[in-house]
Amino acid sequence: MGARPPAKRPPFAAEAERAPRGPVRSRRPFERSDERGFEDRRPEERDGEPRRSGPPRRERVRREPTDLRSFDGSPRRGRSDDWDIDAAAWAPEADLDIDAVEEPRTIRREPAGERRTARARAPREEAPRREEARPPRRAPAPAPAGPTRAELKAAATDTLQTGVQTLTVTEDEADMRVDRFLAARFPQLSFSYIQRIVRKGELRVNGRRVETKDRLEAGQAVRVPPLKLDQARPMSAKVGEDVAGFLASITLYEDADVMVLAKPAGLAVQGGSGTKKHLDGMLAVLTDEDGQRPRLVHRLDKDTSGCLLVAKSRFAAAALAKTFRTRAARKIYWSVVAGVPKPRQGRVSTYLAKEEREDESFMRIAKHGEKGASHAVSYYAVIDTMAQKLSWLSMKPVTGRTHQLRVHAAEIGHPILGDPKYFDVENWEIPGGIQHKLHLHARRIVVPHPRGKGTIDVSAPLPPHMEQTFNLLGWDVSRYDPIVEAPEE
């Protein structure tokens, strides 16, 4: 390798040296100026320069007007102050290889007169008119026959938007709760949606706000806000027959006014967010010629099995709702719990309140007088046990709060097996062969007939997973149930 050629002076170096030196700063605003570190000068040490926030601004070198020449020596018009030359960057000792830089093309400038002559152009041909240049516009196409895109979209929607409605409470609907009145009039509405519109004050009774637990009187005017109702799609004949056959297979009792169903575990009673298959929707296939369809009177949790009472007429729905409100209906549940409760028979009385946590709602024990707290009373009795590890409990709720029996079982220290909210399997030793499903079953329901025709007393068989547990533990379902001796309140 040959010796390195001496560094050549960059262009404009001489002009830069002759230029008056002013306060020139480096390209790097925080360049060290001494051995003490970054430059940190007080305002009075900056040559009278006023203090400014932020990094220092790059300054330009001002010079007198001079003729600037290109690399080939041709004159170039302009002023030196039109250029921003950093004196430090263009120092003579800068190591630059000018030979490696490609020289730019020389710009030759002619006198003004010559330029005008050179720029003279031949006359252009006359451009065609705009109308002649553009093709003729086509006539608009005729409107397509049949429904429009908007009409097709509206026909395919799953919801039906209604307007404001004013409903009159009939004699059969007198003394019904507001939420149950809406559920009876609009079976497509979910329970949570009804609670929300009443809580927000969108529903008015005789012009006043109400609560879901308020009772209605005959003749009152109920103003219902616009609703989004789930539009029931036409059910095919085969599907309708299958649904009707399924309902017939789980029917335990039926007459002209009432029917009792054995709800399977895992089937929702009403629709909700993401719930399309539910019993309330299936009951639509039983609509009679007068347009009346069976109505739910009470509810069971999705994972709870057993007796579910259904009213087949509006009169029966109002009468049975009054039966539940006056606590004239008796419901008996069977459950399998962890451990053995002591005493073996008891009464649980607490206050329950709803709580939301991480997109999940559950009930908790609350204090008397706490906002949203409701009184809940339950009775329990031990029917049989297995090695002090499991117990077969009979439970009777006096009140009808959400998750009441499940919370009360956990409160006494013996949660129900398979409860996803109130039972932790890691804290208990459970024998093998028991399915991890909720072991809670609505065994029996006893209510007076809505037309005074005696008493309806129906019992439901155990679901498959509880029947398997009973067979595994050797429990006999014909054993005496001591809960029938529990007092009535």
The dihedral sign for the CA sequence 265, 271, 273, 277: positive
Before 11, cis peptide (omega within 30)?
no
- Same domain membership, residue 282 and residue 245: yes
Q: Which has the closest alpha carbon to 88: 45, 28, 48?
A: 28
Q: Which residues contact 451 (CB under 8 A, 6 or more apart)?
A: 257, 316, 319
pLDDT at 407 over 60: yes
pLDDT above 90 coverage of the chain, percent = 35
pLDDT of residue 37: 41
Same domain, 347 and 447: yes
Instruction: Give helix 314-325 / helix 178-185 axis angle, nearest 10°.
Output: 160
Q: Reply yes or no on whether the pLDDT at 454 is more than 70.
A: yes
Does residue 335 share a domain with residue 452?
yes
Q: Give the range of the structural domain holding residue 259, as residue numbers without chain letter.
A: 237-317
Q: Is 486 helix (H, G, I), strand (E, B) or coil?
A: coil
Q: Which of 317, 342, 361 is the last residue of a domain?
A: 317
The pLDDT of residue 72 is: 47
Q: Residue 364: pLDDT band by 50, 70, 90 thresholds?
A: very high
Q: How confident is the model at residue 449 (pLDDT cuts 50, 70, 90)?
A: very high
Over residues 256-265, the mean pLDDT reads 95
Instruction: Using the 3D structure, point to which of 48, 67, 99 is the last residue of a domain.
Output: 99
Can you give the pLDDT at residue 143? 45
Name residue, tokens 């006494």.
412
Say what the pLDDT of residue 69 is. 43
Domain check: are 333 and 395 in the same one?
Answer: yes
Q: What is the mean pLDDT of the chain?
A: 76
Shared-domain flag, residues 378 and 439: yes
pLDDT value for 263:
96
User: Does 301 map to a domain?
Assistant: yes
The angle subtended at Cα 34 by Cα 33 and Cα 36, nearest 5°, is 120
CATH label of the domain that carries residue 176: 3.10.290.10
Lowest-pLDDT range, 12-16, 279-283, 329-333?
A: 12-16
Is the CB of residue 26 less than 8 Å from the CB of residue 87?
no
| Residue 2 within a domain | no
Give the model's pLDDT for residue 27.
Answer: 47
DSSP secondary structure letter of residue 275: B
Read off the tokens for 35: 């051995």
Specify the pLDDT at position 404. Answer: 96
Q: Is the pLDDT of residue 262 over 80?
A: yes
Give a yes or no: residue 38 inside a domain: no
DSSP string across 190-218: -HHHHHHHHHTT-SEETTEE--TTPBP-T
The answer to whether residue 398 sits within a structural domain is yes
Residue 25 domain-assigned (yes or no): no
In Å, how far are 105, 292, 424, 434, 442 from 429, measured between CA atoms?
92, 51, 11, 11, 26
More confident residue, 478 or 241: 478
Does residue 44 form part of some domain?
Answer: no
Last residue of a domain, one of 317, 352, 375: 317
Residue 199 in domain: yes
Looking up residue 366, the CATH number of its domain turns out to be 3.30.2350.10
- Please, are residues 162 and 227 in contact by the beta-carbon 8 Å criterion? yes
Q: How many domains does the chain have?
A: 4
* Residue 17 to residue 90: CA distance in whole angstroms: 9
The end-to-end CA distance of the chain, in Å, is 110
Residue 149 lies in a domain: no
- Could you tell me which residues are beta bridge partners of residue 386? 390
Assess whether 342 and 377 both reside in one domain: yes
DSSP state of 361: E
Q: Which residue has the higher pLDDT, 207 or 102?
A: 207
Specify burial of residue 468 (Cβ count, 10 A radius: 0-12, 13-18, 19+): middle
- Tens digits of per-residue pLDDT, 52-96? 555 555 555 454 444 444 344 455 444 444 334 343 433 344 444
Cα separation, 332 vs 395, in Å, equals: 6
217 and 283 fall within a common domain? no
- Kindly state the tokens that stand for 436: 């991890």
Does residue 393 share a domain with residue 349? Answer: yes
Give the span between the Cα atoms of 198 and 401, in whole angstroms: 19
Torsion 190-419-352-344 (CA) sign? positive
Catalytic residues: 301
Closest CA to 446 of 430, 459, 462, 464: 459
Look at residue 156 in the predicted model and tell me its pLDDT. 38
Task: Say whether both 344 and 461 belong to one domain.
Answer: yes
Same domain? 419 vs 346: yes
**Residues 169-196: what's their mean pLDDT?**
80
Amino acid letter, 165: Q
pLDDT of residue 480 exceeding 80, the answer is: yes
383 & 456 share domain:
yes
The yes-or-no verdict on residue 18 having pLDDT over 60 is no
Whether residue 409 sits in one domain with residue 362: yes
Strand order in the sheet with 204-205: 165-168, 221-224, 204-205, 208-209
